[in-house]
Amino acid sequence: MKNGQLRFEYHLSQLQELITKASKQKNPALWLYQHNARTPLFMLEGLAKLYAGIHNKKKFSKIKEHVKLLEDAIGQIDYYDAFAKEFVTNKKIPAVIKNYLQAQSREKIQSLNEILHENNWLGDDADRIEKIRKKLGEADWQDEKEEMNSIHQYYLTASNIILEFINEKNFQFTNVENDLHEFRRMIRWLSIYPQALRGCIQLSIAKTTAPKYLAKYQTKAVQTSPYNILPDAAEQNHFLLLDKKRFYALSWLIGELGNIKDSGLKVEVIKEALLQTSKINEKDALAQAYKLAGPGHKTIQELLDASEKVIKTYCKEKNLESLIAGVAMFKK
């Protein structure tokens, strides 16, 4: 079995174990959500996304569609459930909003249960994982050296697409979902791939002194994050090397934008609940949402402006262009 297929198998086996356990539960979707099934789904989605850009696009795109459907469904549960839990002890949040979020959580859980059965992840006809394994067995896997060159090129292309996106926007964001969230999604994949690829991407410490501006990104939280500890190289001989300090800078940016995004989504979810549970127009719902979000809560545009500022600084420093340190070969 080639390295690429082994990587899929590692995460697929984790998912299969979770689904097997979930199948014995009264509410499989809730159990999967509570037991972090989203992580192996993210890993599989990342692998499928990457390999679709390297070879066998049709096969891997199909795999990506199936795992993304589950991942998105769990993400929807998390979205409503997280805010429902955050607001539960907040006396300023009306009960009608809390009830709406709890109802949405239950609805999304039911939706995931339906997806699990309709797409044959669970039930008497459960064969989705074996179908994925069959597609993986039919793929035209490359040898290690060829694959590493392909992954290197893919990373370069992905980075260029991100830079094109931000240049087209000219660092001007007007929408949380289409601008901020989309940009964060794009850069987050660059940090997910090293985990998903199980060792063929490693962090490199530059021989020259790192620029002083990188110091602000090297926080304790970033340096100790389990997401920044990459899998061991194992039997791999060819590697894509990423500059360690710039990888940490990327991690810091993802986290910072996540905090800004969550502040914006807090307002958006309250506004949604108000619109769905009372006779109110959108303008008044937004004004009320700001008040309920807490004193001094920033407006959506202020949050977008804050995200523009940190992204502009990061990009002006050419951190993304300098992320890849090179390709290396090591014979054991």
230: left (phi over 0), alpha (psi -120 to 50) or beta: beta
pLDDT tens per residue across span 197-208: 998 999 998 777
Name the packing angle between helices 244-277 and 282-293 (round to 10°): 120
138-193 confidence digits (pLDDT tens): 999 999 999 999 999 999 999 999 999 999 989 888 888 888 999 999 999 999 99
In the chain, DSSP finds a helix count (H) and a strand count (E) of: 12, 3
Burial-class residue 24 by CB neighbours within 10 Å (0-12, 13-18, 19+): exposed
Rounded Cα distance between 36 and 77, Å, is: 12
Specify the 3-state DSSP secondary structure of 218. Answer: coil
- Structure tokens belonging to residue 282: 């959108």
Cα–Cα distance between 25 and 280 in angstroms, integer? 41
Domain borders along the chain are 3-138, 144-329
pTM of the entire predicted model:
0.93
pLDDT at 128: 96
Cα–Cα distance between 227 and 209 in angstroms, integer? 25
Query: Is residue 235 very low, low, confident or very high in pLDDT (cuts 50, 70, 90)?
Result: confident
Distance CA 203, CA 219 (A): 17
Query: Which conformational region is residue 61 in: left (phi greater than 0), alpha (psi within -120 to 50 degrees), or beta?
Result: alpha
